[in-house]
Amino acid sequence: MIAIQVLSRLLLASSSLHQVDTTARLHGRASSSFNGRPIAGVMISVPAAHKFVVTDSSGGFWIAGLEPGAQVVRIAYQGRETQEYQFVLRRAHTETIAVLLDLDAMNLNPLVVEARQTNMWRDLAGFYERKRWYGGFARFITREEIEHIQPKQIGTVLALEGIVVRCYGYCFPTRFSRGHLCAVPINVNGLPWAEDNYEHIPITSVAAIEIYRSEPPYGLSPSLSITPGSSIWMGGDFPTSNPCGLVLIWTR
């Protein structure tokens, strides 16, 4: 009888060890939208689950044991609280989100988004993710660096990277690549932009600029039709090879 009880307890313990966790989890990192550095002490809470955590020194956080389905996430920092952000959590899945905070802003209004594939991530959080991946391949200019340079307009920043507007019937931002002059496509907030208009964006509104010196990573190329008047037009004096890369401008 004793042997049967012991065996029963062992089987029950073994069964509990092999139970699959079907709850959802939330994972991510809080960073500065000014320079991308991690921010510790940010409170991430899921009110409906009565759960919250505080980001560590790396800006990271992890919340487990959440019910699958739509869950509201709230962000708080130094006594300031944000609006609520809703995410749909999946059973036995970890949802990764990015939190970008402007610590100098009057109102705490962070960018809180779901993590995406690096080259398809079209917002400021994607800029900082690509900065970690392609830092040696492209030029990533943060708001901190822009304020250090103190340019009057975007063209001043691009000129420092060898990109200058030239006019050949149409005006284009251009650069020399392998001895050839070619035009550089411009994207603003992930969308193609008329190249003669980007200078109208106030420099105070620019959050970051990423500049690719040659062919950008797959997925970042602009979906812009190849016609005269767009910077990827290679007609006239512009060669059809030696691509000059891509400029992505992110605004606040």
Q: How many CB atoms lie within 10 A of CB 37?
A: 11
All structural domains of the chain, each given as residue ranges with its CATH number in brackets, are: 21-115 (2.60.40.1120), 138-251 (2.170.130.10)
Which residues fall within 8 angstroms of residue 190, CB to CB, at 6 or more apart?
Answer: 122, 123, 248
Residue 130, pLDDT score: 96
Residue 238, pLDDT score: 42
Amino acid at 104: D
State pTM to two decimals. 0.82
Task: Return per-residue pLDDT of the chain as tens, 252 residues.
Answer: 555 454 455 445 455 445 567 899 999 999 999 999 999 999 999 999 999 999 999 999 999 999 999 999 999 998 888 889 999 999 999 999 999 999 887 788 899 999 999 999 999 999 999 999 998 889 999 999 999 999 999 999 999 999 998 887 777 888 888 788 888 888 999 888 765 678 889 999 999 999 998 888 888 865 444 444 444 444 444 444 446 789 999 998
Residue 68, pLDDT score: 96
Which residues fall within 8 angstroms of residue 126, CB to CB, at 6 or more apart?
Answer: 116, 118, 120
Residue 65, pLDDT score: 95
Residue 20, pLDDT score: 62
| CA atoms of 251 and 202, how far apart (whole Å) | 9
CA angle 78, 82, 88 (to 5 degrees): 125
